[in-house]
Structure 1
Amino acid sequence: MSNPDRPPLIFSAFVMNTTSHIYQGTWRHPDARNLEHNSLEYWVELAKLLEAGTFDLIFFADVVGLYGDYRGDYRKYVETGLQIPANDPAVIASALAYATEHLGIAFTSAVVQEHPFSFARKISTLDHASGGRIAWNVVTSYLKNAFANFGYDDIVAHDARYDWADEYLDVAYKLWEGSWDEGALVQDKAGLHADFDKVHKIHHLGRNYKVEGPHLVAPSPQRTPLIFQAGSSPRGQQFAARHAEGIFVSSPTPEVARQQIEATRQLAAAHGRSPEDLKFLAGLSFVVGSTEEEARRRAADLDENWIDWDGHLAHFAGSLGIDLGHHDLDAPVGEINVETVQGIIRGLERAHPGRPLVVRDLARFMASANRIVGTPEQIADRLAEWRDAGVDGVNVMNVVRPGDYEEFIEHVTPVLQRRGLQRTEYAEGTLRRKLFGTDRLNDRHPAARYRGAFNGPRSWPEAADPRAVEAAPVGR
């Protein structure tokens, strides 16, 4: 039984400005329009559809490099369109904002790909243009090719990437929260445009960045965009607990999600935040049918005829940084002697006892773990279980785009709304106000310490030589 006291779930459409995102090969489906991803009109239509269906967000994943080699090179990615080509989602964000009124617009950006000063300026510009509906998914990137694309000799070590991201956010917070005081922008036509005493240089001097400031954009409706993160390692969870407002979880069951959520909320409290400062979104996909039998038949058709399981395995293996392409898809998984995949194999064997696992099962089980198949009523029942486990929302993955969202909105949304599981109308205001009840970050967030922090000397600290910035984590 669903808890009626919990608020409606947050619904986010998980997309990528590419042909093939999560479920590889399905761009070939006759109902898929994935090949139109270069078209701005295509994305505008999808954004309008999602807003009509009271989705809270359109959320863009992104990469700035290829996954690890598969069968020794990147041929598989190119030939199957596996996240290549991939367009920059931030470029089209303002158009989506112009075409909608309430829909939140989130996009992914890795700290390796852009200097924090220019990124902070871009975010503030988009937040102004959207009326405060921008969110940023912070990623450190784990793709060796991504680092090579930005001049690095090798990938930065795992924990060092999060140290780097901490400083990156520190620079951005200083610009967004501390560079302009409240009331600094006067715009009095009698002559005063802004109060000099309320606009500050930040003089950031750190291991990776030297930034003088001030921020060139006046405070936007949210100042700092809504922050998303998906760290799952111990260091990543600490980073998310400190910085994030929205956290993505990938869990096979609601109970596993509950454990992850409770642990992360405790970490947030250790960082001086309230456990309620975080919203957790589970990544799920849906196959809808008017009957359970129809839904299962449709799922079987996708599995047998449209999903490229070899491509799916390439994506999965590339995410782990290993090459599974030299293994036959029907070979027993016991033949795989790669340490990084052994834990996954053991977990799958425990979850599916009594049958020998083969290599293609690695891809199949990873895909089915996040899939709900059934009638709208059955899907609503399952989502109620996820909400009762502590999940605050759903990152809705698609197999066929935009058809999966059209079906969900037409058939599932009305059932969810009747049960109080999905909102029926939008609240006014910024994205943060819609989700948290306030336009700005609360005082418990680490960014808040920079409010009013730069009212002192307007120069580099005397104790620091502005030319003596330490080297970046790795050489370029």
Structure 2
Amino acid sequence: MPKEIVLNAFDMNCVGHIQQGMWTHPRDQSTRYTDLQYWTDYARTLEAGLFDGIFFADVVGVYDVYGGNPDAAIRGAVQVPVNDPTLLIPAMAAVTRHLSFGVTSNLSVEQPYLFARRMSTLDHLTRGRVGWNIVTGYLDSASRAIGLTGQMAHDDRYDLADEYMELVYKLWECSWQDDAVLRDKAQRIYADAAKVHVIHHRGKQYRVDAMHLSEPSPQRTPVLYQAGSSTRGKQFAAAHAECVFVNGQAKPAVKAIVDDIRAHAVAGGRRADDIKVLLGQTVITGRTDREAQDKYEDYRRYVSSEAALVHAAASLGIDFARYDLDEPIETGKSQAIVSNVEAMTRAAGPQWTKRKLLEQMQLGSRQTPLVGSAERIADELIAWTEATGVDGFNLSRTVAPECFEDFIELVVPILQERGAYKRAYRDGTLREKLFGHARLPVTHTAARFRAPACATAVTDDGRG
């Protein structure tokens, strides 16, 4: 019996997300991203299809590596304009009961004290259906936007992230004890002040003396997502992540990443099944292989090669505008998404060119789509879980919303028939649905920052 697959829609509060150029397709509705009705209808569609959640990507800079300016990104709507995804979540939660919301937030530009309150607020308003995709950022433009000259080196950003996590764990897990809130109207006592603690944190990056402003939310700490597959990223994921997002490559390469992440987790005292791994995937399906192939060929007519290169230039840290089609590309030492550079080198060889890159971007991204009948797609998704150990998929949109409507109508019933997909939602918070418990387990890094011990000690290394 195959294991039950986890499915998220992968999207962004913008026009052009992963598959660059698809917004120009006549049936695509992503230009309605500023219309709240678009998002609430989207949420209802996903919940009707029993999707586990929607995973929101986000960036807080612009893609200006290609050509040294953002002009091509603006022309092609390459993740700009882009709105705040967190503001969509309460509205989408209000029209659903089970759909979860993974939201990306860049800790390099977010003040941790206020961010912790925002996530607690979302956890309350969704009744425990929110997760946080932890990112450290990779755009120099984002750093310049907050007054810095550029971003930190790749591994240094993860050092910052370790301290950031320690601080938000203290706020979420320690500041308010579980029994602090009384709501005693007769005694006129809402909360027991003796059970609400001021956090004292002294670290290299942050100094905080404050109580958390929010009372404990259903999950306290949101479900923790992370997408780093570099060596340092895997170390971070092993310490903190509950769900890890990896990009599609050959099955053996994905299996090696999955095994490595779980091995790191076990070495750190966690269990292998404390982490679920989700693979980025693009699906184009139909009732027959021919119908799916025709749809794929139709979609390809709207691909923007320039926009695809703009996106790749930013995520790889390479200005492709400087190269001719067949000129060997020098990767150098990138401070962008290191795992993307490593994956591209594995796929195209050490001397890859712009032509080789474009050949891989069949649908406007480096993610090769699965194309076929619903039966073929179901077979392929199950095969990926069995061959690699991934637990599910983040399905990126192509032409929205029909790509998800097609998947729900055609593929979901077959996955259910084969025992690989649920027939009904389980009750509970997101963490309960995924792992069977509402709070982070004692094996997680956050457990050592729980009340009341962490509220009393003050050290100079951020481990108070």
Q: TM-score, normalised by structure 1?
A: 0.90
CA contact (8 A) 2:135 2:226 kept: yes
Following superposition, the deviation at residue 297 of structure 1 comes to 2.5
SS, match of residue 183 in structure 2: coil
SS, match of residue 190 in structure 2: coil
CA distance in 2, matches of 1:433, 1:206: 33
* 1:367-394 CA distance string (max 9 Å, x none): 4654111000000110111111211011
CA distance in 2, matches of 1:182, 1:383: 41
Report the counterpart of residue 158 of structure 1 in structure 2. Answer: 154
Following superposition, the deviation at residue 356 of structure 1 comes to 11
Following superposition, the deviation at residue 340 of structure 1 comes to 5.9
CA distance in 2, matches of 1:294, 1:265: 39
Name the aligned partner's letter for residue 437 of structure 1.
G
Report the counterpart of residue 5 of structure 2 in structure 1. Answer: 9
CA distance in 2, matches of 1:344, 1:441: 32
Report the counterpart of residue 337 of structure 2 in structure 1. Answer: none
Give yes or no for the alignment of 1:239 onto 2:236. yes
Report the counterpart of residue 426 of structure 1 in structure 2. Answer: 425
**Aligned residue among 274, 277, 298 for 1:277:** 274
SS, match of residue 320 in structure 2: coil
Name the aligned partner's letter for residue 234 of structure 2.
Q
Name the aligned partner's letter for residue 11 of structure 2.
V
The list of structure 1 runs, each at least 4 consecutive aligned residues, that deviate by more than 3 angstroms after superposition, is 337-351, 355-359, 362-370, 453-457
For residues 24-423 of structure 1, what are the structure 2 equivalents within 5 Å?
24-191=20-187, 192-303=189-300, 305-328=301-324, 331-332=325-326, 334-339=327-332, 347-349=346-348, 358=356, 360-364=358-362, 367=365, 369-388=367-386, 389-423=388-422
**Cα 1:359/1:178, change in 2 over 3 Å:** closer
* 1:28-75 CA distance string (max 9 Å, x none): 101100100001110010011000100001111000001242123211
Report the counterpart of residue 444 of structure 2 in structure 1. Answer: 445
CA distance in 2, matches of 1:396, 1:360: 21
Following superposition, the deviation at residue 451 of structure 1 comes to 1.5
CA contact (8 A) 1:112 1:150 kept: no
**Cα 1:359/1:432, change in 2 over 3 Å:** closer
CA distance in 2, matches of 1:12, 1:182: 31
CA contact (8 A) 1:230 1:248 kept: yes
SS, match of residue 12 in structure 1: strand
Following superposition, the deviation at residue 182 of structure 1 comes to 1.5
**Cα 1:343/1:175, change in 2 over 3 Å:** closer
Size of the alignment, in residue pairs?
453
**Cα 1:233/1:344, change in 2 over 3 Å:** closer
Following superposition, the deviation at residue 112 of structure 1 comes to 2.1
* 1:164-188 CA distance string (max 9 Å, x none): 1111111110011011112111111
CA distance in 2, matches of 1:188, 1:157: 51
SS, match of residue 439 in structure 1: coil
CA distance in 2, matches of 1:345, 1:190: 65
CA distance in 2, matches of 1:272, 1:235: 18
* 1:103-131 CA distance string (max 9 Å, x none): 00111000122211101101111111111
* 1:66-98 CA distance string (max 9 Å, x none): 124212321100111110000000112111111
SS, match of residue 203 in structure 1: strand
CA contact (8 A) 1:254 1:385 kept: no
**Cα 1:113/1:350, change in 2 over 3 Å:** closer
CA contact (8 A) 2:56 2:104 kept: yes
CA distance in 2, matches of 1:297, 1:448: 52
CA distance in 1, matches of 2:454, 2:415: 50
**Cα 1:141/1:283, change in 2 over 3 Å:** same
**Cα 1:54/1:153, change in 2 over 3 Å:** same
Name the aligned partner's letter for residue 442 of structure 1.
P
RMSD: 2.3
**Cα 1:319/1:346, change in 2 over 3 Å:** closer
CA contact (8 A) 1:288 1:407 kept: yes
CA contact (8 A) 1:20 1:26 kept: yes
Following superposition, the deviation at residue 195 of structure 1 comes to 1.6
Following superposition, the deviation at residue 440 of structure 1 comes to 0.5
Report the counterpart of residue 472 of structure 1 in structure 2. Answer: none
CA contact (8 A) 1:123 1:225 kept: yes
**Cα 1:76/1:125, change in 2 over 3 Å:** same
Q: TM-score, normalised by structure 2?
A: 0.93
* 1:116-149 CA distance string (max 9 Å, x none): 1101101111111111001000000010001111
* 1:226-277 CA distance string (max 9 Å, x none): 0000011111110011100000011323332111111110000111111110
CA distance in 1, matches of 2:342, 2:174: 45
CA distance in 2, matches of 1:237, 1:448: 20
**Segment drifting more, 62-71 vs 435-444:** 62-71
**Segment drifting more, 188-197 vs 316-325:** 188-197
Following superposition, the deviation at residue 292 of structure 1 comes to 1.4
**Cα 1:243/1:338, change in 2 over 3 Å:** closer
CA distance in 2, matches of 1:70, 1:287: 29
Following superposition, the deviation at residue 336 of structure 1 comes to 2.8
